[in-house]
Chain A
Amino acid sequence: MSHRTFTHLDALESEAIHIMREVAAECTNPALLFSGGKDSIVLLRLAEKAFRPGRFPFPLLHIDTEHNFPEVIEFRNHRAKELGERLIVRSMEDSIKQGRVVLRSENQSRNPFQSITLLDAIAEFRFDACIGGARRDEEKARAKERIFSFRDEFGQWDPKNQRPELWSLYNTRTHPGENIRVFPISNWTELDVWEYIEREQLEVPSIYFAHWREVIPRDSGLLPVSHLVQPKEGEHVEKIMVRFRTVGDMSCTCPVASQAKNVSEIIAETAMTRITERGATRMDDQTSDASMELRKKEGYF
């Protein structure tokens, strides 16, 4: 028999399991948003803890921009299969073909348009709740968001009209057409996520670990070279050792210089880092002081 003490991770884990079970019990038709990124990988382990030995009482849903890193998509498919749970993928390519999403150029960031495909998927399957891996430490709009975040018929978040959330009594009621986004790891930080990944020995896509990659220094970030991102005139390509802190749209997700080859080295780096997760890695959050807030109001996660 092994012994250990009840840690802050145990407290956060228990809270998250409690939240997932409330969703399962009170919502009619929930889904869990799984992208293959580290936060949603943690969600899957929490769902296993919440519902095994039974099946998950919800399918997994991925809104695929088709600008994702291939390692992440491979990982997504592998993990869903391993769990034996149903994975629904809805692609932005379809939204583009149907004219629901109109891009200015083929290579522009697709992050802002995910909302459209997500809202279409919600309507198609009549999901009344979507469980997501957003955390409040990511961004100041998130800091003010509830764990059960209510969206109106148009998928919009109204920051000044949120339901009060007291104790752990969550109000899950919706009218038809409305939707709730649920964030079980709201109270986790980036460091907590990595410590949990280490403790639970969770697999993550390889691009989270340090590897050699061709990048273009642009603005304050390092853009990864791909079929979507090529050097502009006057820019140069460098090959350096990097890892990704977040995995999103290839055209705007920047890696950071790193030597961290395994989870414990990532934890050591995360504990020391002086730049926020989104500050370092997301060009689309730096366009204005309120970019995340605006995207959320339009239906973003």
Chain B
Amino acid sequence: MSEVKNIRRDRAELLRFITAGSVDDGKSTLIGRLLHDSKSIFEDQLSSIARTSNKRGMQAVDLSLLTDGLQAEREQGITIDVAYRYFATPKRKFIIADTPGHEQYTRNMVTGASTANLAIILIDARKGVLTQSRRHAYLASLVGIPHLVVAINKMDLVGYSREVYERIRNDFAAFAQGLRLSNIEYVPMSALNGDMVVERGDRLTWYEGRTLMDLLENIDIEHDVNTDDFRFPVQWVSRPQTEELHDFRGYMGRIESGSIRVGDEVTILPSGLSSRIKEILLYKDSFEDVFAPQSVTLTIEDHLDISRGDMLVKTDQQPQIKKEFAAMLCWLSEQPLDSQRKYIVKHTTRMIKGMVNQIDYRVDVNTLNHETADSLKMNDIARVVMKVQQPIVFDDYARNRATGNFIIIDETSNNTVAAGMIC
């Protein structure tokens, strides 16, 4: 191995966010505005939507057409759940998970939110905090999105009124308190006219806060991942068994949280055996220390039986190991939950059999009331007790997103039918 490198953790350059809101809130216009004003729209895309705008008899270019759907969606009047869009500024690269739709909103938003650092919740200034705004905020808190930006849009239609903005901000803040959401920013804007999106404009002079783009570029996301607990689910064991590498055993995977250094003591779970880190490798590099989310190959001092599905942790930072655990479940499939059936549970790099043993309650996402339930159907959210065939190694989702999540797969159809967060 030739080079030894030390990679420093610095400012995160990649931010993933989700936009929550319906077409009526101006969501497509906002995304179009972000792309347009950050100069991320290409000329051929712009001329294509200009032609369509013109065909539809519109005077100006309709930026919302940029996020217009596929032929299948247009023909059948359906929306496909998540589209991903990319743009960059000199400070950061951005990935937007754009999740349209009213009907299946819960499923779509949970999917898009699962990888997001930040959610933008759009509110129409004329309408204020509606049931759907509360639902979006609840889902953001459920999936544990670390940062929220409440975009109070269409300020042009309420005369850019400071009173309207402050009333909506106070309403939302009061509601959010109950959800234990922190890190909330509020921005008044007109996506249509471009006020406070990328440019400040000259109509919201009373607002002294940051523009939406300023927030996206500068919000501190470095501390979003758990930096305390080293968790390394083994994905693949490398045993080349060539002459020169006869005894080489490399444990390949991604550091899901925390960090590790050569010489650190690690425990292999679920077996409980311990060893020390000998080398940290990746291709031609070898490292002294590494941290989440780096993908690496680890070797250890001792010959132990380690395979895919095992997890390496620091000996003094132990997770939980259980066969029965409570979780919040979001049901994603049109086929309802059958509580008598065994499903496949995928958690970190393990796939095991499991079942929903008990439904504690279902959450009404509009009122947040708890109700009893015997089954779960698409878009339902519930607190359940899961039971799996062999013990899994996990942390609570609130403490560690990567080791606290799982999906449920239907063994017959092979479809992903539910997403779970251990609590």
Contact = CB atoms under 8 A, between A and B. Distances in A.
A163 B416 contact: yes
B197 interface: no
A174 B414 contact: yes
B253 A21 contact: yes
Interface in A1-25: 1-8, 10-15, 17-18, 21-22, 24-25
A143 interface: yes
A68 B283 CA distance: 31
A167 B283 contact: no
Given A169-B407, A186-B84, A275 B44 contact: yes
Nearest to B411: A173
A237 to B, nearest CB: 25
A144 interface: yes
Given A2-B6, A275-B44, A144 B283 contact: no
Contacts of A159: 70, 72-73, 80
Nearest to B4: A1
B235 A279 contact: no
Contacts of A227: none
A110 to B, nearest CB: 24
Interface in A64-83: none
A70 to B, nearest CB: 29
Interface in A152-177: 159-160, 162-169, 171, 173-175
Given A2-B5, A275-B43, A279-B45, A167 B70 contact: no
A169 B406 contact: yes
B235 A25 contact: yes
Interface residues of A, number: 64
Contacts of A171: 346, 407, 409, 414-416
Contacts of A1: 4-6, 288
A262 to B, nearest CB: 22
B295 A18 contact: yes
B294 interface: yes
Nearest to A158: B72
A53 B10 contact: no
B115 A167 contact: yes
Nearest to B253: A21
Given A6-B9, A48-B283, A144-B82, A21 B405 contact: no
Interface residues of B, number: 73
A14 B287 CA distance: 15
Interface in B52-107: 70-73, 76, 78, 80-86, 88, 92-93, 95, 107
A162 B252 contact: no
A4 B111 contact: no
A268 interface: no
A223 B415 CA distance: 44
Interface string B376-419: 00000000000000000000000001100111010000111001
A191 B45 CA distance: 17
A291 B137 CA distance: 38
Contacts of B406: 169
Nearest to A171: B416
Contacts of A25: 235-236, 308, 349
A136 interface: yes
A136 B92 CA distance: 18
Contact of B76 (A21, A50, A160, A164): A160
B419 A166 contact: yes
Contacts of A49: 282-283, 295
Majority-rule SS of B interface residues = mixed
A53 B235 CA distance: 16
Nearest to B248: A53
Contacts of B92: 8
Nearest to B47: A279
A189 interface: yes
Contact of A167 (B5, B8, B332, B402): B402
Nearest to B3: A2
Given A187-B86, A189-B86, A144 B308 contact: no
Contacts of A52: 283
A173 B81 contact: no
A274 interface: yes
B295 to A, nearest CB: 4
A274 B42 contact: yes
A77 B6 CA distance: 35
B14 interface: yes
A55 B245 CA distance: 12
B405 A167 contact: yes
B272 interface: no
B235 A22 contact: yes
A141 interface: yes
B248 A279 contact: no
Contacts of B11: 5
Nearest to A170: B346
Contacts of B7: 3-6, 10
B401 A167 contact: yes
A192 B283 CA distance: 20
Interface string A125-150: 00000000000110011011000000
Given A136-B84, A167-B402, A160 B78 contact: yes
Interface in B225-272: 235-236, 238-240, 245, 248, 250, 252-254
Nearest to A291: B71
Given A8-B13, A168-B115, 11 more contacts: A3-B7, A5-B10, A6-B8, A10-B294, A17-B295, A51-B236, A51-B238, A54-B238, A171-B409, A173-B344, A187-B86
7 contacts: A1-B4, A18-B235, A51-B238, A53-B248, A165-B111, A276-B44, A290-B70
Across chains A and B, which 4 residue pairs bring their CB atoms closest together, nearest first?
A279-B44, A290-B71, A5-B10, A8-B13
